[in-house]
Chains A and B, each alone.
Chain A
Amino acid sequence: MIRIAVQSEAIDVAAEFAAIAGAGVGGIATFTGVVRADDGVSALELEHYPGATEAALRRLAEEAAERWSLVAATITHRVGVMQPGDLVVFVGTAAVHRAAALDSCAYLIDRLKTDAPFWKRETRGARADWVEPRDSDSLAAARWSRES
């Protein structure tokens, strides 16, 4: 079961977890991304490409489900204006054993940072800047590539 959502509403972790726990298997891994307040960030805005973003997330979830034989995978990403402490992304994976759940969860968050069309803008005081991509994110995504 694959669930993909891109939403402006707050992410309800309890509801997200309950949905993936309903798969009823041995191991569930989750990752929750939180808006940081570092360097005086007062607001974070997320823009996306409607249609293409959801399709990219679904493709990643389907790849993970096949690679790790997942029973369920959820990606919920928030868009719009958020404040520090708000939840920006939830990834959940369910598998028969823990290694598959943990590895696929890490895979999904690493790959969505480089493969899904979202753009972040940080507000500090009166100034708003688009976030530049980080080399460390590209390296994190690249570690999952494999010879096939």
Chain B
Amino acid sequence: MAIDLLYFSWVREAIGTGSETLDPPEGLASVSDLIDWLATRSDGHAQAFADRARLRAAVDQVFVPLDAPLGRPREVAIFPPVTGG
């Protein structure tokens, strides 16, 4: 099932794109499992996802911890801790 992946800030820069639509393998249980799979896609992905403590995620625009169940989302965003205001 295709998922829209969105990347922001230095995650986007390391990967080289702000969005991509991918069809991950069945059986990915958590957001962290999805990130493990994404990290194998390129050197840029591997670099962006190397330090999990610096990553945050949103599944269908709901902010979740990385160990949250993945379910069958339409959209997953991966990004650094936020720094607005």
Contacts and interface: CB of A to CB of B under 8 A. Distances in A.
A133 B85 contact: no
Majority secondary structure of chain A interface residues (helix, strand, loop or mixed) = mixed
Contacts, number: 68
A119 B61 contact: no
B8 A130 contact: no
A49 B8 contact: yes
A89 B61 contact: no
B84 interface: yes
Chain A interface bracket (under 10, 10 to 19, 20 to 34, 35 or more): 20 to 34
Nearest to B9: A119
Interface in B65-85: 77, 79-85
A4 interface: no
A115 B61 contact: no
B58 interface: yes
Given A49-B6, A49-B8, A130-B10, A119 B83 contact: yes
Contacts of B80: 119, 130, 133
Contacts of B9: 47, 119, 121, 130
A26 to B, nearest CB: 27
Nearest to B60: A52
Interface of A: 33, 46-49, 51-52, 55-56, 77, 88-89, 109, 112-121, 130-133, 137
Interface of B: 6, 8-10, 58, 61, 63, 77, 79-85
7 contacts: A55-B61, A116-B82, A116-B85, A117-B77, A118-B83, A120-B84, A133-B83
